[in-house]
Amino acid sequence: MIDADPAALQTPPISSRAVLMKATRTSLAIAACIVLLDQLSKTWAVKDLDDGHVIHVIWTLQFNLTHNQGMAFSRGTGIGPVIGVIGLVVVVLLLLSLRRADNALTRLATGLIIGGALGNILDRLFRGAGWMRGAVVDFIDFQWWPVFNVADMAIMIGAATMIGAMLKYQSHSSTQHNTGTVNSAE
């Protein structure tokens, strides 16, 4: 049997700042991947579908280029600058909220929403004739649902994931509160 100094067996504490920075980098990396995928797919759509033809993929899914100057479901046409500014405010608030993102699901959801919002904001900034006057490129068309894009998918998946994380961790913390136990693994 080997005697070891108990202090040597203890792992040094990880600073909460280092954990926060790692979590923030993870969310920002997810957001950057979404922006890249979104903008690449929109560039393809504008280049290959601009002549008006439609590519049938499977069942009712087709790629059909449209431009949306409003918001979801083509509502709010003409108030693109307002929608863009609201989007920027949401991105800033989500970036600030990363300091409190204490679980992987919330960090994933936040990264997805930030990436999706930035993808559509870039369209409003650079696909038009003036500041925030651009139209969002949509091209994924099921024919029975409004046409959308990769950024829209990221926002919706991120929102659903955020709700799931809230429900999971809210019920988990209320269970711990009711039993008086705390699981340090969370």
By annotation, the residues acting in catalysis are 138, 152
The total of other beta-carbon atoms located within 10 Å of residue 82's CB is: 12
Cα(17)–Cα(170) distance, integer angstroms: 24
CA angle 8, 14, 20 (to 5 degrees): 170
Residue type, 65: L
30 phi, psi to nearest 5 deg: -60, -45
Cα(113)–Cα(109) distance, integer angstroms: 6
